[in-house]
Amino acid sequence: MYQVLYRKWRPQVFADVAGQPQVTTTLRNELTAGRIAHAYLFTGSRGTGKTTCAKILAKAVNCLHPVDGDPCGECEICRGIDNGSVMDIMEIDAASNNGVDSIRDLCEEAAFTPAMARYRVYIIDEVHMLSPGAYNALLKTLEEPPSHVLFILATTEVHRIPATILSRCQRFDFHRIAPEDIAARLQYVAEQENASLEEQAGLLIARLSDGALRDALSLLDQCLGHSREITVQVVNETAGLAGRDHLFGLTQAIMKKNSAAALEIVDRLYRDSKDMARLCEELIDHFRGMMLIKTMKDASALLAMAPEEQQRLSKQALAAPLSTILHGLTVFQESLERMYRSSNRRVEMEMSLIRLCSPELEDSSAALVRRIAALEQLVQSGVPVSPAPSVPEPQPEAEKPAVIREEEFDLPKEPAPVPVKKEPAPQPSTKPVSMEEIQANARQLEEWPEILQILRNYSQSIAAAFHGSSAYVSGSYVLIDAPQELAFELLRKSSQRDKMRDAIRQVTGKVYKLGPYKPTEGKEAEKQDPLAALTEQARQVGIEVIEKN
């Protein structure tokens, strides 16, 4: 009979256990020194090696010829434990044997000496499922067990175990396995199975397994049934993933508020039998990566993806406001919770995308923060935002301003019955604006690090020339203060200026003129801090509000 990979390639020694050195090193040292405890507690998430380490420990304490704390695997005890002929090693599932009678029978059996091995070992899996009466029945034996008895308890929910049990065990916490460690183990298993596994496909399987090596091996086993040459495309088809291109397309549609494009992508994925809940999980992971890139200087350690894909994600994240990213995470998390209670997951996904593309339709705090951030960005870029009049003046039907622009349609060129009064265009000022006036109203451009990050994607050498620089915005100008003269030499070239303008436009959404920032001597100290003036104005408004109330 065929044996699945996670059973066939279960580690037989501590050195083969992936990603748990804090557990395996301690256990090997204790076995080498002969300091064997009577009770161990292994806790951690699923698929991280708890039962595997318990079986290795059970063989190691009974092995006739141990090697540096590991079982030899060749003696009659090791072979008997592997084939099940040694009855002194008992594995109990507490989920189905959680009653007090089962634990009483276990305690009565523990009084008898082992038949073949040195220790009688009881491995109790999912120990948190025991009833209160079963815990009480186990407590006395666990506190003072016979010298030939060893208990190994395993659980995924350690908070449900009574403190009286915890205090009598040596506790070992199993961590989620790093994606790099999982990918390395998958590569080894694939080679042993005479199959080829692409590096990016291994990382994708590791990311989908969420730190559980058993889940990763199960997915690899499923991919081997599809093809002996496992690529990213094979993993996507086997796991029912949407693919990274669709995720970038959906994110771009959300950023541009193009709900029609987003719904077309969802419709295409639905017709290809893609699971909407899995698509929602992928979008949550995608937006999480954007959030990490947006808030950290270097998020590569937390992102399990190829450098090319990370560069593409960085470009998309730096061009998106953080409020939009957080709004997307909030909406997708809520949608995923509703999908498992809904009869139509496609409708839930479509509703989520429409809410993200039209934040004005939603009254949640995340949507309001996103809309406020968009207004603040408009104000910072110099676009005037004037409030609408509280009581609009009534106008005749013919005098209402035209909503449709004539240049967009082939309208007849007939004179309007009542011409619309147009305000005279303001005459441009004949007085030229001096550099001193521009610099006097300049404020620091906070998005400058993001602009340099986009510039680094264009060219590392150009970004190096602007290392340690800062920028200031004043009206339609962006003034750059760089310690290296090479930066200004580059800006004198039209092609480099176009790249700088494009990077500024991606972050701020507006095209600026470029110039050098050179503070005037003697006037730098007299320049008023805009933030201080704004703070003083807010304080005055607060005082007036308090006096009125």
Edge-to-edge, what's the strand order for the sheet holding 170-174? 89-93, 120-125, 149-155, 39-44, 170-174
C-alpha to C-alpha distances, 452 to 294, 303, 486, 498, nearest whole angstrom: 13, 21, 15, 14
Is residue 534 domain-resident?
no
Domain of residue 84, CATH code:
3.40.50.300
Domain of residue 510, CATH code:
3.30.300.180
Asked whether residue 283 falls in the same domain as residue 333, the answer is yes
Domain of residue 335, CATH code:
1.20.272.10
Examine the pLDDT at 477 and tell me if it is beyond 70: yes
| 489 Cβ contact list (under 8 Å, min separation 6) | none
The domain in which residue 33 lies consists of 5-174
Q: What's 298-354 look like in SS3? A: CCHHHCCCCHHHHHHHHHHHHCCCHHHHHHHHHHHHHHHHHHCCCCCHHHHHHHHHH
- Higher pLDDT among residues 69 and 376, named by residue: 69
Asked whether residue 84 falls in the same domain as residue 197, the answer is no
| 59 Cβ contact list (under 8 Å, min separation 6) | 71, 73, 77, 78, 81, 89
Domain of residue 221, CATH code:
1.10.8.60
Task: Report pLDDT digits (tens) over 164-183.
Answer: 999 999 999 999 998 889 99
Is residue 410 domain-resident?
no
Tell me the pTM: 0.59
% the chain with pLDDT above 90: 23
Asked whether residue 197 falls in the same domain as residue 113, the answer is no
Is residue 133 domain-resident?
yes
Asked whether residue 52 falls in the same domain as residue 123, the answer is yes
Asked whether residue 100 falls in the same domain as residue 143, the answer is yes
Region 52-60: mean pLDDT is 92
| 235 Cβ contact list (under 8 Å, min separation 6) | 201, 204, 205, 208, 219, 223, 241
Is residue 193 domain-resident?
yes
Domains: count for the chain: 4
Lowest mean pLDDT among 111-120, 220-229, 377-386: 377-386
Final residue of a structural domain among 137, 154, 174: 174
pLDDT at res. 424? 54
Asked whether residue 254 falls in the same domain as residue 221, the answer is no
Q: Which of 243, 239, 240 lies closest to 222 in space, CA to CA? A: 239
What is the distance between the alpha carbons of residues 168 and 314, in angstroms, rounded to a whole number? Answer: 49
Asked whether residue 257 falls in the same domain as residue 365, the answer is yes
Asked whether residue 183 falls in the same domain as residue 167, the answer is no
Asked whether residue 143 falls in the same domain as residue 26, the answer is yes
Is residue 451 domain-resident?
yes
Is residue 409 domain-resident?
no
Long-range contacts of 429-435 (CB under 8 A, 24+ apart): 435/515
Is residue 522 domain-resident?
no
Asked whether residue 120 falls in the same domain as residue 205, the answer is no
φ, ψ dihedrals at 41, nearest 5°: -125, 115
What is the distance between the alpha carbons of residues 387 and 379, in angstroms, rounded to a whole number? Answer: 13
Is residue 413 domain-resident?
no
- Return mean pLDDT, the chain: 80
Q: Kindly state the tokens that stand for 28.
A: 């090997």
Q: Which helix (H) or strand (E) holds 121?
A: strand 120-125
C-alpha to C-alpha distances, 461 to 310, 379, 450, 486, 502, nearest whole angstrom: 20, 33, 17, 11, 17
> What is the C-alpha R_g of the chain?
33
Asked whether residue 223 falls in the same domain as residue 305, the answer is no
Region 436-454: mean pLDDT is 78
Asked whether residue 359 falls in the same domain as residue 253, the answer is yes
Cα atoms in the 13 Å half-sphere on the side-chain side of 352: 28
